[in-house]
């Protein structure tokens, strides 16, 4: 028997306890018509987990208001209104600001004594004379009790100029004549006495002592940058600015305006912090709730303050700190709402991307399953074709072998007959 025949008809037995291994499918080369997409570099599991984490970290919940929120906000707002009347408004008889500006009151007299105890006399920034110009037809006056509002030397924003005046012993300022600005420089005071010059260090110390002394005076100091208005090209603006300072618009009253505002901020902060101490809401949501409560309280006080100014027709009663803070809170609340809408859109977009990745992952697994199934079918077909070829080959070999055996038997029969 041909040795090839033995190998062809030999069949290996399959161990029923052995696990089927299809790893050989990974080595099958794709057909020429197969579409190849490289996705091995993408870690879908990590990407989906990261997107899930990002989505969960976006808290777009808002904290709703309840009755206690409204009660606290409106109560604190009314207290702020009372503080504006009793503390901040210098035009209100009996208010703290009014007493500090009145030399005849106990507090005003005490503050005036501080102003007088600090030695700051005879300095160029306190020049109060009338200066005649070169043509001797025009003059500019810097005198009077409101001289701090008229000159540049008491403007905290122009402190380098004030220190230079003390250092050089010169009064430097200016005014308008026939619409043209004229600089004024004087080395003598209104009585004709020359100003003393100081060393740089002495000039700095003298400046700070002078500002502290004038802060406690009845008129106090003008607000920083006020000299820009009192030296404005338009005469109406200059006059209006000087009237504002004369009527009590100064840095001390401005600070007093912040007391009721700061008190409201503190009480609302304490209330909001205690209420949401162990809350699951985000820090941004808790902060936004506080800002909304503040907006209600400050809004009530601001509305009353503006109404008071309209009724009394006294613009210096306008609480600038309160108005600025209210406008700032309006902007913050509007900005937060815009950010929440953007976060909501971003969260939706991330969710869509996550769903697309999950669908893509499923499609890839399905595609792999279909591809390997097709390859298994192809492998089975090839195996079947190979088996058929082997079967046909063996059948032909058996047929030839039987023919050989019949020929040999025929030969033996002929041999026996002989």
| Structure confidence at residue 136 (pLDDT) | 47
81, 304 in Cβ contact below 8 A? yes
pLDDT band at 388 (very low <50, low <70, confident <90, very high): confident
User: Is residue 44 packed enough to be buried (19+ CB in 10 Å), middle (13-18) or exposed (0-12)?
Assistant: middle
- Coil vs helix vs strand at 64: coil
User: Is residue 128 packed enough to be buried (19+ CB in 10 Å), middle (13-18) or exposed (0-12)?
Assistant: middle
Enter the pTM of the model: 0.70
Token representation of residue 119: 């030695």
User: Cα 149–151–154 angle (5° rounding)?
Assistant: 70
181, 252 in Cβ contact below 8 A? no
Report pLDDT digits (tens) over 322-366. 999 999 999 999 998 888 787 777 777 778 777 877 777 787 778
Phi and psi of 149, rounded to 5°?
Answer: -80, -20
Token representation of residue 9: 């008809």
Token representation of residue 13: 């037995």
Q: What is the mean pLDDT of residues 120-136?
A: 77
Closest CA to 253 of 33, 56, 98: 98
Q: What is the mean pLDDT of residues 8-14?
A: 43
User: Domain ranges in the chain?
Assistant: 1-101+258-408, 103-247
Q: What is the mean pLDDT of residues 231-257?
A: 91
Token representation of residue 241: 């600015």
Most confident of the ranges 8-22, 23-37, 236-250 = 236-250
| Structure confidence at residue 24 (pLDDT) | 58
204, 163 in Cβ contact below 8 A? yes
The residues, ordered by sequence, that sit 6+ positions from 86 with a Cβ below 8 Å of its Cβ are 92, 94, 95, 96
């Amino acid at each position: 028997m041909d040795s090839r025949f033995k190998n062809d008809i030999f069949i290996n037995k399959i161990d029923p306890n052995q696990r089927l291994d299809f790893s050989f499918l990974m080595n099958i080369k794709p057909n020429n018509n197969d579409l190849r997409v490289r996705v091995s570099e993408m870690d879908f599991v990590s990407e989906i987990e990261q997107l899930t984490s990002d989505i969960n970290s976006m808290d777009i919940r808002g904290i709703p208001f309840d009755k206690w929120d409204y009660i606290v906000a409106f109560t604190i707002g009314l207290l702020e209104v009372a503080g504006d009347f009793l503390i901040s408004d210098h035009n209100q008889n009996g208010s703290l600001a009014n007493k500090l500006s009145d030399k005849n009151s106990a507090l005003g007299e005490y503050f005036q004594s501080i102003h007088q105890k600090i030695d700051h006399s005879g300095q160029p920034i306190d020049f109060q004379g009338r200066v005649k110009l070169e043509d001797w037809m025009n003059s500019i006056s810097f005198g009077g009790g409101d001289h701090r509002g008229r000159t540049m030397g008491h403007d905290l924003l122009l402190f380098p100029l004030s220190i230079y005046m003390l250092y050089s012993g010169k009064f430097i300022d200016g005014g308008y004549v026939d619409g043209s600005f004229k600089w004024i420089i004087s080395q003598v005071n209104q009585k004709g006495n020359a100003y003393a010059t100081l060393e740089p260090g002495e000039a700095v110390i003298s400046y700070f002592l002078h500002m502290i002394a004038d802060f406690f005076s009845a008129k106090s100091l003008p607000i920083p940058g006020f000299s820009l208005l009192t030296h404005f090209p338009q005469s109406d603006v200059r006059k209006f600015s000087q009237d504002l300072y004369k009527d009590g618009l100064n840095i001390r009253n401005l600070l007093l305006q912040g007391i009721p505002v700061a008190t409201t901020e503190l009480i609302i902060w304490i209330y909001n912090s205690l209420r949401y101490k162990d809350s699951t809401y985000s820090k941004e949501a808790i902060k936004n709730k506080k800002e909304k409560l503040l907006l209600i309280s400050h809004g009530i006080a601001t509305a009353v303050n503006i109404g008071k100014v309209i009724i009394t027709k006294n613009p210096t009663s306008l609480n600038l700190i309160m108005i600025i803070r209210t406008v700032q809170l309006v902007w913050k609340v509007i900005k937060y709402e815009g950010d929440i809408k953007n976060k909501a859109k971003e969260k939706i977009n991330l969710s869509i991307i996550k769903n697309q990745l999950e669908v893509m992952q499923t499609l890839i697994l399905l595609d792999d399953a279909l591809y390997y199934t097709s390859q298994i079918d192809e492998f089975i077909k090839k195996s079947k074709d190979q088996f058929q070829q082997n079967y046909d080959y063996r059948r032909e070999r058996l047929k030839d072998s039987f023919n050989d055996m019949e020929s040999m038997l025929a030969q033996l029969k002929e041999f026996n007959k002989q």
